[in-house]
Amino acid sequence: MDGAVISTWLAALLTLGIMSFVYKDNLYYKICEAIFIGISAGYWFITYFWDSLYRIAWIGVVHEGRYVLLGGVVLGAMMLMRLFGKIGWIARWPLAFIVGATAGLKMMVYFTTNAMAQIHGTVDDTMVAFGGGDLYDLIGRLVILIGTVTGLIYFYFSKEHKGLFGGVAKVGTWFLMITFGASFGYTVMSRMSLLLGRIEFLLTDWLKLVK
């Protein structure tokens, strides 16, 4: 029996073990789950060790003399201080560095891409559609415009949601509900795809029922 057959059988038995949970919680499932968690943790650890610590830090500093990388190494080591009770506070420094750098980078990109570009796209496309687009496009753009404005009004809490303002906010709520529904639909689609991948593996590679 060659390695490919053994690995296919192993993968199939582990897949069935995880799937057995839909019947009920059982020992077979628990064993498969524990194997999955252990392997995942081990894989991530080894990947980060070889890719970051060895390939970047060790080769970079020791073999290539890029001493600037030592800054990252020191910050990484400081992060591990959390494991030692009394000096655990040292881990806050690299954490502060990460939070600061991420906030700095994200603040601008979110503002330009998620705020300004979206406002520009919404208004500009609606104007273009009014100026000569087809009816289907125009209706689509108007729906986006109304959805954006009413959605924003729903999140405006400085005025009580009553009367006309409350009505517009209600429309915003409907748009949000439809968005969540679409998002849920996509999530179901994705989860089905995951299951599909496993079923295809079982039918094709393991049972050979499908070519």
Partner 1 sequence: MNKYYSWLILAALIIVVAILPKPLVISPTASVIVTILLGIALVWVLVLTIRGHLIGRRVVFLFIGASLTLPFFMNFEMPIKVSPEVKILYDALAKLPPGSKVLAAFDYDPPSAPELQPQADAFMAYAFKHDLKVIIMGLWPQGPQQANMSIDKVLQYPEIRAKNPKYGVDYVNLGFQSGNEFVIQRMGSSFRGMFPRDIYNTDYDKIPLLNGVENFSNIDFVFNLSSGYPGTVEWVQIAVDRYGVKVGAGNTAVQAPSVYPYLSSRKLTGLAGGMSGAWQFEQATQQPGKASTYVLPQTFSHTVVIAFIIIGNAALMVSYRRSKRGEA
Both tokens assigned to 98: 């990460």
Shortest separation between residue 30's beta carbon and partner 1, angstroms: 18
- Tell me which DSSP letter residue 21 carries: G
Asked whether position 56 contacts partner 1 by CB under 8 A, the answer is: yes
Asked whether position 103 contacts partner 1 by CB under 8 A, the answer is: no
Q: Which residue lies nearer to partner 1 by CB, 73 or 161?
A: 73
The binder of partner 1 chosen from 13, 87, 105, 127 (CB under 8 A): 105
Q: How far, in whole angstroms, is CA 13 from its chain's centroid? A: 29
- Per rule CB under 8 A, count of chain residues that contact partner 1: 50
Of the candidate spans 150-158, 160-168, 169-177, 187-195, the one that interacts with partner 1 by CB under 8 A turns out to be: 187-195
Tell me the C-alpha distance between 59 and 65, whole Å: 8
SS3 content of the chain, % helix, strand, coil (to 5): 85, 0, 15
Count CB-CB contacts under 10 A for residue 29: 18
Tell me the C-alpha distance between 159 and 115, whole Å: 23
The binder of partner 1 chosen from 62, 65, 131, 190 (CB under 8 A): 190
Contact positions with partner 1 (CB under 8 A) in 4-43:
22-23, 43
Of the candidate spans 83-91, 154-162, 167-175, 199-207, the one that interacts with partner 1 by CB under 8 A turns out to be: 199-207
Q: What are φ and ψ of residue 5, in 5° steps?
A: -65, -45
Shortest separation between residue 106's beta carbon and partner 1, angstroms: 8
DSSP string, 78-147: HHGGGGSSTTGGGGHHHHHHHHHHHHHHHHHHIIIIIIIHHHHHHHHHHHHHHTT--HHHHHHHHHHHHH
Asked whether position 189 contacts partner 1 by CB under 8 A, the answer is: yes
- What are the residues binding partner 1 (CB under 8 A)? 22-23, 43-44, 47-48, 51-52, 55-56, 59-60, 64, 101, 105-106, 109-110, 112-114, 117-118, 120-122, 125, 144, 179, 182-183, 186-190, 192-197, 199-200, 203, 207-211
